[in-house]
A and B are shown apart, each in its own frame.
Chain A
Amino acid sequence: MTDAPVLEVDDVAKTYDVSAPLLQRLFRQQQRTLLTALDGVDLELRRGEILALVGESGSGKSTLANILVGSLPATRGQVVQDGSAIPARRDKELSRRIQMVFQDPYSSLNPRLTVRAMLSELLRVHDIVPRSEVRKECLRLVSLVGLDEDALDAYPGQFSGGQRQRIAIARALAVRPDVLIADEPVSALDVSVQATILELFASLRDELGLTILFIAHNLAVVQHLCQRVAVMYLGRIVEVAGTDEIFANPRHPYTRALIASIPRMGDTSGAADLVPEGEPPSPYDLPTGCRYHPRCPFAEAQCRELDPSLRPLSESAGRVHLSACLRASDLPESP
């Protein structure tokens, strides 16, 4: 892995217009209602790494993923790939470079296409290999994800959940992307199948040098697979650091709450005090100051006024540790 960013997310924001239809609004004299899903996200993905994106449900992880693959326009900000900003309308070549794998292997594949038909179509449209080599390339792709040649002539309905997820990965890899965005790719799988898919992601990184953004809720999985972790809260990245560093030395109170909430295999009751009480604030009406202050056990007067940005904190093993907490350096030692 090198530290050169493949992908940079620069101040990306996304608001959804969730207003009632215009006529109804005029009639009831209502304002437009905007929901802020992303509120100035900065993030970089380094070549050959698996970066975890974790955070509360509704914090904007999937919204960011959809913006990265170009299936959703950003309201503000830009995505920069290898130094140049990706335009709002991507051509075939640009859309090839970032591919997505979804949580639900059942609904993300066309049930009426055999695996071979699906892969060959993609290979032709994107001109990945000469026509004469399409057959061979299909075979290479299924073996890359650990399936037999027989899989090529079967339909998605004939596969188990884990096998379907392999097919979804093969489809994403067919166009030889630089970056893979995986949105909760193992959440729906049994532990044993999950283990084999995690192994597959690790080998894609180690053998093909693929860069992967891995969205997940299970922090034991994240710790096992990922080199760095980015934590999201209410539309912002609030902490980024190397995996070992962030779990040993979390420097944002929300990250501490996440870690305290991990269900453990051993007999640990965790630091229950850190688990946030109540629900996250409404994304229609973000709190002033630090957006975590209504739930933060370390909040001070300044936290209600100042909106902290994501700033470098210290160097850990040559890699930067970022936190968006005003008290990042004077938080008590984590338990």
Chain B
Amino acid sequence: MIMTETDLHVLEPDPSDRTLLLEINDLRVGLRRGRTETTIVDGVSFDVDPRTRFGIVGESGSGKSMTLRAIAGLLPGGTEVLSGSIRYRGTDLVTAKPSVRRGLMGPEIAMIFQEPMTALNPVRPVGDQIAEGPRRHLGLSKKEGRALALEMMGHTGIPDPVRRVRAYPHELSGGLRQRVMIAMALACRPKLLLCDEPTTALDVTVQHQVLDMLESLCAEVGAALVFVTHDLAVVNKTCSDLAVMYAGRIVESGRTSEVLANPRHPYTRGLLDSAPDFDQPGRALVPIPGLPPSIANRPPGCAFAPRCSRAVAECDSAAPILTTSTDHRTVACFRAEASGSEISA
């Protein structure tokens, strides 16, 4: 290891420290044109403790990527945080000065994208790109930077790093590029790693390797993970906690194993029923009827009502509020599936 703890300008998380790493409160993201606002992410709240792995699932267009990008301060042009707060170790990133934000990206917060080419510079050797963050933020020399790049490439399982440190992104396969991006993101030992569908484009064996590697590297550097995917089996393998998003809102959250074993929101149930499960070969797939609403036309009541088999009249007029029950399960549905002590007549 070339980096000693004192080289790092950031503190190792103290295991007794109970402060939340990330605290998102009533976050709204959207477009503002004059006085009209179009809401894409609509009142999302969740907390991430140090060292946890938090998954976000939902259909495409539900606002998963926009939520991640808001945390990273990388919202696409035209979109912005409309209201709410994103507290990172107590500092609200929404109101923080751009210089404070820039200082956090890299040494504290890093992001991994679905398509590695969006994050990699096609005309620079990958080794230089991995070393860039540590050189800028941790003040490493050119030589130390290269040594760290080699070490990170080894850590992420890239064979023959000495040869590949000089390679350009197009000379590597998709799986290797994804590893380079992960090496780049972890080089500054961030405390929070944001992953947007990092394995969707990979085949199963490479996916397996990348997920295992993320898990062990996070444990090693003490980082927490926010992991966006639309694959329930991947989230089951990777994340301790889970939030399900629909039409810009979180509709259900809790421990991954509990939510997937006993979903309470009809949408979560629908996702599970429509995906084939390798361990239940004969089971028929039941698709959710219809399509998610477009952002401009979200229904006034529960956004899922037009597709929901449990819907009642009430669902069309009022939006259900996300409520946490005594068993720490959170769900936004008037007719949530109950379990255990909650079952009422």
Contacts and interface: CB of A to CB of B under 8 A. Distances in A.
A320 to B, nearest CB: 22
A278 B276 contact: no
Interface in A114-163: 160-162
Interface stretch (A2-10, A76-84, A192-200): A192-200
B343 interface: no
Contacts of B11: none
A203 to B, nearest CB: 13
B160 to A, nearest CB: 9
Nearest to B260: A265
Interface string A63-86: 000000000000000000000000
A269 to B, nearest CB: 9
A17 interface: no
A275 B205 contact: yes
B260 A278 contact: no
A100 interface: no
A195 B270 CA distance: 11
A11 B34 CA distance: 65
Question: Which of B231, B233, B257 is the most central at the interface, judged by chain A CB atoms within 10 Å of its CB?
Answer: B233
B278 A264 contact: yes
A221 B204 CA distance: 13
B279 interface: yes
A223 B175 CA distance: 24
A91 interface: no
Interface in B260-311: 260, 270-271, 274-281, 285-288, 291
Contact of A191 (B207, B212, B232, B291): B232
A220 B272 CA distance: 13
Nearest to A61: B203
A220 B276 contact: yes
B205 A258 contact: yes
Interface residues of B, number: 43
Contact of A261 (B159, B207, B277, B279): B207
B175 A265 contact: no
B232 A265 contact: yes
A275 B208 CA distance: 8
Interface in A275-303: 275-279
B146 to A, nearest CB: 22
A33 B279 CA distance: 44
B175 A263 contact: no
A257 interface: yes
Contacts of B270: 192
B204 A220 contact: no
A111 interface: no
A89 B166 CA distance: 43
B322 interface: no
Question: Which of B174, B278, B285 is the most central at the interface, judged by chain A CB atoms within 10 Å of its CB?
Answer: B278
A34 interface: no
Interface string A232-259: 0000000000001000000000000110
Contacts, number: 113
B208 to A, nearest CB: 4
A57 B236 contact: no
Nearest to A274: B205
Contacts of A261: 204-205, 207-208
B25 interface: no
A195 B281 contact: no
A267 B257 contact: yes
B204 A265 contact: no
B57 to A, nearest CB: 9
B287 A193 contact: yes
Contacts of B38: none
B91 interface: no
B279 A268 contact: yes
Contacts of B205: 56, 257-258, 261, 275-276
Given A220-B275, A263-B208, A57 B203 contact: yes
A217 interface: yes
A262 interface: yes
Contact of B285 (A195, A260, A267, A272): A195
A220 B277 contact: yes
Contacts of B209: 275, 277
A265 B211 CA distance: 15
B104 interface: no
Contact of A279 (B173, B207, B236, B287): B173
A194 B274 contact: yes
Contacts of B277: 220, 265
Contact of B233 (A55, A161, A220): A220
Contact of B206 (A56, A162, A192, A195): A56
Interface of A: 55-58, 160-162, 190-196, 198-199, 217-221, 223-224, 244, 257-258, 260-268, 272, 275-279
3 shortest A-B CB distances, which residue pairs? Answer: A261-B208, A263-B233, A195-B287
7 contacts: A162-B291, A190-B230, A219-B204, A219-B278, A263-B237, A264-B237, A268-B279
Given A192-B271, A224-B281, A265-B280, 15 more contacts: A57-B206, A191-B271, A191-B274, A192-B288, A195-B287, A198-B276, A199-B287, A217-B203, A220-B277, A223-B276, A263-B208, A265-B232, A265-B233, A272-B212, A278-B157
Interface of B: 59-60, 157-159, 173-176, 202-209, 211-212, 230-234, 236-237, 257, 260, 270-271, 274-281, 285-288, 291
